[in-house]
Structure 1
Amino acid sequence: MKEIKPISNFNVTVAIPGSKSITHRAIIAASLATGKSLIRNFLDSEDTIFTAETLKKLGVDIAFEGNNLHVSGTGGKFIPLVGRKELFLGNSGTSFRLLLSVVALGQGEFVMTGTPRMLTRPIGALVTALNRLDVEASCINQNSCPPVLIMANGIRGGRTEIAGNQSSQYLSSLLLTGPCMNQGVEIEVIGELVSTPYVDITVDVMEQFGVKVERDNYSYFRVKPGKGYEAREYTIQGDASSASYFWAAAAITGGVVTTENIFPLSTRQGDICLLELLEKMGCRVERSSDRVTVHGGALSGIDADMGDLPDMVPTLAAVALFAEGKTHIRNVQHLRIKESDRLRAIALEWGKLGAKVEETDDGLIIYGKGDLKGTVVFPHNDHRIAMSLAVIGLKVHGVKIEDEACVGKSFPRFWELWDKF
């Protein structure tokens, strides 16, 4: 159990570790490339290790050297498998979704599975999209959730479609394997796509590894056959999602935080847009080429469509507790299928502290400046809930977080850096 000590009047600088989202995608692109790649500043976390270890089980040679990864790509072809192989992905939804298409490139019988929570998280839309490309895959329990059985025999490719309203990772999965499909791939997105910045990250990583993606905004994508990934050296920038908790710390305490290894003027990470919301609430933000400084100030509630920033909802929900008036967070119904039902988890745990939080069909209404009292809170095995509760504890005496180690999913060094305060 971790007790958070309230603080104020601080000025700290924090070097932010590599982006989880970019690390997943870079490891996959390097694994599917022809030749040897060097990935610098990769994020060593539970989720990214699931991705790397699964690729190693498919026959990719991956060696760890400090914060660097040496990856010997297979050119999108894997060693044929004899017998059935189980691939355990824990509760890493990103690993599961992105790798489902990668596993289908192989040869043999695979079962992809995970923790009990993972077995409740939808995957059926991606399975159906792969079926349209002649991949033999099915949800074993016939409930559109893992475990998934894949009779892998490469992917023919062609044209498919994917619903956009659950997870953009379905689309990213298909895109990442597109260069390795015999006919390439054309993908039509049905309905409005959620979390679009993560697709931009996928496309950017693919292009950095030599693959061109044709697109019509977020409704149509095409990857032509014949031009595979090229091995290269690639440096992963800091994670804006991880930086957000330090920005929030400054916001609510009136302190000053500078985060290094963040590139606000050029990054594809959509979570950088949390800075604009903090400015609307009353913070002062300084941006330079490779760092961000946030100065806390008097805060006011806002109305925020966070459909493209779902991972930032817990962070903003923590800040909202200390703002005048109410904050309305909208268009994030897809948060119910994350590591936890994040909307419910926020309402429950913030409520334990005395906050007034209302769940809506697609978000939350949070009433600021309430009478908050510290108590024991539970992060629901969700790293982002835990780190957001740590933010709240900087202003509320007596916040004690159970299962604090769950931050290892995305930010193993979080408590070490947090204790700098």
Structure 2
Amino acid sequence: MKLHLSAPSNTLLQNNIQITGSKSESNRSLLLQALYSNISIENLSNSDDAEVMQKGLKIENGVVDIHHAGTAMRFLTSYFASQEGKEVTLTGSQRMTERPVKVLVEALQELGAEITYEKNEGYPPIRIKGKKLNESKVSLPANISSQYISSLLLTAPSLKNGLELELVGKITSVPYIKMTLALLSQIGVENSFEGNTIKVSPKANVANINLVVESDWSSASYYYSIVALSDVGSEITLSAYKSSSLQGDSVLQELYTEFGVETQFVGNTVVLRKVEMPKEQKVEFDLSNAPDIAQTIAVTCFGLGMECHLTGLHTLKIKETDRLEALHTELSKLGASISVTDKDLTLNVSNTLNVDVAIDTYNDHRMAMAFAPLALKTPLFVNDAEVVSKSYPDFWRDLEKLGFISKSV
């Protein structure tokens, strides 16, 4: 599906949007529910990724196809490796077969797992024969995607001796690790995170508990961008959110003050207001702990005619696409002056803003949603717009509530 997207007739925006549960929290909660059947979950994400995770967890033997869902690939690798009697082949899309899993597979093998590669070493598809994992100590590089780390931590309480995980080097994406540990604490699993060592105690059973998933802050980022690019006085209310969030992307509250956006919590809602135009013409952010909002911020800066230098982006190379190169290509089409390395992005001020550019999305939901707010500045096309279903199926419908005009072409 190709969409043509243009601005509302009135760019003084006012509306309320209900956002589905966090994909990150949902997938973690689903894995814990698979380990402990007396856990119930509210406000589960309606994303493709959460649906794939649910289906995958129900399979006992055979092929588990997780399509584009990188989180599911990593989480299910540890889950199936620790489930005695289950035997599966874990595979996915063409892009998924290019995304490395070797560091996680080797860690699990150290714990006693039986995992083999079906095609290329270090990459899916992988064959997993579940068994009891009796070893309890392992190490991982600290600068890898937090999903590898969380994968091991989530499975850890079901292991006979728990887990002691040493992270070697400088740790990145700490909020996502803390989210995982906080969920373990909620269900009564003892854990500690001191220095570079994480310990998770074994737990055979947990008490009945209902986990309520907070709405997704990554999804909220697109509304921060919309408010930043709209007129002073615009106000969008999002629900349901907590002022003390487990999600790393909640740092949006602080970062977007640089773009004149104020955040206020009212009950279980968060109110975003455009209170002023940006005071500075350049921002510098280290996004090591929140790399998923890099695309949104880069597009916001371009739309506002601001410079930006974003660092801590090394994990973006192995996402649904190489997000740094994708940003370089698509922003350049629009007229941006941009450069990227393997871990940072620099956007210079450009006076060019091309009209009706077709944005390619590369099977990446965040490319589609990050570029959508730019319709406030220039009409554009979005190729393969249905890719948003990976994390936010209602996105285009919700934009229409704000007055955006979208037409299939």
- Same fold at TM > 0.5: yes
Q: 2:369 corresponds to which residue?
A: 387
TM-superposed deviation, 1:208: 1.4
- 1:412 is aligned, of 379, 382, 393, to 393
Letter aligned with residue 7 of structure 2: P
Structure 1 ranges of 4+ moved more than 4 A: none
Q: 1:6 corresponds to which residue?
A: 7
Classify the secondary structure of the residue corresponding to 1:153: coil
Q: 1:134 corresponds to which residue?
A: 112
Larger RCO, structures 1/2 (Cα 8 Å, 6+ apart): 2
Structure 2 residue runs without a partner (length 5+): 403-409
Q: 1:283 corresponds to which residue?
A: 261
Is the CA contact 1:323–1:368 (under 8 Å) kept in the aligned structure 2?
A: no
TM-superposed deviation, 1:322: 2.8
Is the CA contact 1:162–1:190 (under 8 Å) kept in the aligned structure 2?
A: yes
Is the CA contact 2:44–2:213 (under 8 Å) kept in the aligned structure 1?
A: yes
Classify the secondary structure of the residue corresponding to 1:274: helix
Written as runs of structure 1 = structure 2, the 5 A alignment for 1:20-419 is 20-33=23-36, 35-58=37-60, 85-106=62-83, 107-217=85-195, 219-254=196-231, 255-263=234-242, 265-296=243-274, 297-299=276-278, 300-368=281-349, 370-374=351-355, 375-397=357-379, 399-419=380-400
Classify the secondary structure of the residue corresponding to 2:325: helix
| Structure 2 CA distance for partners of 1:370 and 1:274, relative to 1, 3 Å | farther
Classify the secondary structure of the residue corresponding to 1:157: coil
Distance 1:88 1:242 in 2: 25
TM-superposed deviation, 1:238: 0.7
Letter aligned with residue 99 of structure 1: L
Letter aligned with residue 239 of structure 1: D
Letter aligned with residue 143 of structure 1: E
Classify the secondary structure of the residue corresponding to 1:321: helix
Bigger drift between 377-386 and 248-257 goes to 248-257
Distance 2:325 2:205 in 1: 43
TM-superposed deviation, 1:226: 4.0
Is the CA contact 2:80–2:129 (under 8 Å) kept in the aligned structure 1?
A: no
Cα deviation digits, residues 309-367 of structure 1 (max 9, x gap):
11100110111113354100011011010011000111111111111111133111112
Q: 2:405 corresponds to which residue?
A: none
Is the CA contact 2:218–2:293 (under 8 Å) kept in the aligned structure 1?
A: yes
Q: Percent sequence identity over matched residues?
A: 30
Is the CA contact 1:356–1:367 (under 8 Å) kept in the aligned structure 2?
A: yes
| Structure 2 CA distance for partners of 1:369 and 1:259, relative to 1, 3 Å | farther
TM-superposed deviation, 1:243: 0.9
TM-score, normalised relative to structure 2: 0.92
| Structure 2 CA distance for partners of 1:226 and 1:204, relative to 1, 3 Å | closer
Classify the secondary structure of the residue corresponding to 1:42: coil
Is the CA contact 1:211–1:227 (under 8 Å) kept in the aligned structure 2?
A: no
Distance 1:286 1:163 in 2: 38
Structure 1 residue runs without a partner (length 5+): 59-80
TM-score, normalised relative to structure 1: 0.89
